Structure formats: structure tokens, C-alpha cells
Structure 1
Amino acid sequence: MRVAIAEDSALLRDGLLHLLHRRGHQVTAAVGDATGLLAAVAAEPPDVVVVDVRMPPTFTTEGLRAALALRATHPSVGVLVLSQYVETRYAAELLAGRCDGLGYLLKDRVADVGDFLEAVHRIAGGGTVLDPEVVSQIMAASRRTATLDTLSAREREVLALMAEGRTNSAIAEALFLSTASVEKYVTAIFLKLDLSPSDTDHRRVLAVLRFLNA
């Protein structure tokens, strides 16, 4: 196989390179950022790329965005996302298209070298390899978003201001509403998000967390 590697950790990148070489595979590129990966694939398309999620310069979602770009520009190149993180938004977008030649594995859950190499082989051959934890987190994020979709536009405005730490009176002032109206909107938000009264949980905080996670 011809494999390109994009991993910002020099130790892991070098380890993957030597592992693949020892098993008789050709590493066409071993780079530390998404820009380098895109350039390397454009110059010499491999059979599969192994890419981390968080890489320079912002260490957020560069790798996943590069994977999405490669799926569009080089559809014959398999993509294996290998990361410590599940970035649900871009992962869901990646999986929303065709799933042939695609994988997403969590570094800490790859049991041994053989499992990793088998995953690379399957993806290069057009197969799909997904860690169950990745699927679980994407589905959970999807359910949270679907729940928030039940909120009205005004309820979303109230919840957004709650996320800024505003009190009910401050929200009322910002939206030109009475405090009683804001209280009704807040109660409706709790009901739609299925946040029942509790002695142990703070519903306002839970509602804001649901909003921010989505």
C-alpha cells in the first residue's frame, strides 16, 4: 500500500512511518499539518491517508476538515482518521457522505498493531472501520441537536442569553420583555429539553450545557 501520514506528534508520526515500512508499505508523505497533507496528496495520491484531528495552527479540527476536502477532491483515496478526540460536527459531516474507504479510530482504543494495520488494509480496499465510541458520540450529539430544534426562535434567544450568564431580568431587558414572560420561556425550555426539577441538578446550567454542546 501507499500511505500518507498527517500527525503533529513527531514521535507518533515517526512510529507510524517505521511500522508501515517494516510491513512492506510505502509511505508517500509524513507531515505534521493538514496543509502539508493536502499538498502531498495532490502531488502523489496514496491509497490511503492516516490523519489526526487536531493539528497546527489552531489544533482544533484541521485534520477533519482536510479529510473532508480529500473526500471531495480525491474520492479514490481512503481516509483513516486516527485521533484521541471525537469532533462530532465534522465527523458527522464526514460520515454523512459515502462511507466506502473511510475509518475513524480512537488512538487509546486501538488494541494492537495488528488491528491498526488491518484497519488500514480494509480502508485502502474500500471498506469502512468505525470505533463504536465514535458512532455513539455522533448519535448522542445528533439527539441533542434534534431536541434543540423543538425550541421556538424566541426560546432560542432566551437560551442564548442564559448561556451568556444573564439573569431573567437582564434577559427581559435585552429582549424588551417582561420578567414574567421570560420566566415562561425558561420554563418552556426546561420542559422541551426534558429537564425536570431536581434537588441535585441545576436546570439552568444543564440547559446551557445542552445548548453549547449542540
Structure 2
Amino acid sequence: MTADPFETVGDARPPRQTMAEGAVILRGFARPFEAELIPALRAIVKQSPFRHLITPGGHRMSVAMTNCGRLGWVSDPTGYRYDGIDPESGAPWPPMPPVLCRLASDAAGEAGFSGFAPEACLINRYVPGAKLSLHQDKDELDFGAPIVSVSLGLPATFLFGGLKRSDTPRRYRLEHGDVVVWGGASRLVYHGVAPLADGEHGVLGRQRINLTFRKVR
């Protein structure tokens, strides 16, 4: 019998880990939101399914993604940008559910960034082998707001470097329910995700879902 892919599993983790000035991991912070969070994500993906974007260089991203909120992040041969319209459906992105807004705002506040009100939530799906190369989040106009990143499903190795691409990144294991927040002096740090290891997670099965909340303007 297949296990319930949305079953909550217990885990004892340290509550907080500092990575750098303005950058912390809040261990298990998203778990109390899970009962509302998973159905909300199901509804978003039903309206705007996952897709593999094409980079300006013509490469197909190994991570599949979709968005919710007033704006969504998109990529195609013309460049990276935010747009209020899903290019596949021609309709606005799904609204950001209240539970996602609360999670992002509460996590930012816990990390020392009060008043965070995200305009975009990027929803990335990793399957084994998928990765995200080192990059900066710099398509936003407001660098004063933090980035809030929520991990769900399979564990991942998060790469957190410096302000130069050549800086050697540190490696952090992120597990289901962990939330990373970075801003201030760390807002433009290069970061990425190492190739996802195979496995079967009790909540989401053979995948990792990552939610990245951003204030764009």
C-alpha cells in the first residue's frame, strides 16, 4: 500500500542556524503550516502546472517551476523577468494563498526582517538529479527586502557562497519544513542547490518542492 504522500512526519531539529550576517536557517519552521500549505499548493499547481523554463542561453532548466502571487518569475530566450501573466495560460498567476503569505511574513520576522509582504512566490520542483547553479537573485527592484525560501520533501544540499561567483560556497543540508531567510548584507549572495539525491520522502514522495518568496518592487 502506498503511503499517504501528504502525511506529516516528526523530526527533532535545532531551531535556528546562522549562515552569515542577515542569513539564517529556521529548522522545521514550516511544519506548523503544513495542513493548510499542501492543499494550497495542490490548487496552485492545478491552475498553473509545473513547466521547464528555457534560459536566455537556450538551455532547458532541470528544475520545473510555476508561480503564484501578483507577479511570477519567467525565463525564455529573451531574458529573465517578472510578469503578471502566466505565458502558458495567458491568465494571471494564481493568487498567493493566505497561508503562504503568513508563512513568508512570519519566517522573515523571525529572522529579523519585519513587515515582509511578498509579491511573488516561485514554486520549484526538483526530482533526483535536478540542480540549480550558483546565481544571485537580482531581477527585483527592491534589494531591501529579504528572500524567504521554504524546503518541502526530499532533503537537499543548499549552496551558500559570497558576493562573487568565485567565492567557495558552504554546503547546508535542508530538510522538509526548513526555511532559509537571507537579506541585508547577504541579500545578493550567490547560492544554488546541488544535484538532488534520490530517495522517497514520507510527505512528498520522490521530489523536493521549494517555495521562494520575493518582494519585487
With CA pairs under 8 Å and 6+ residues apart, which has the higher RCO, 1 or 2?
2
Greater strand proportion: 2
Normalising by structure 2, what TM-score? 0.24
Rg comparison, structure with higher value? 1
Normalising by structure 1, what TM-score? 0.24
Greater helix proportion: 1
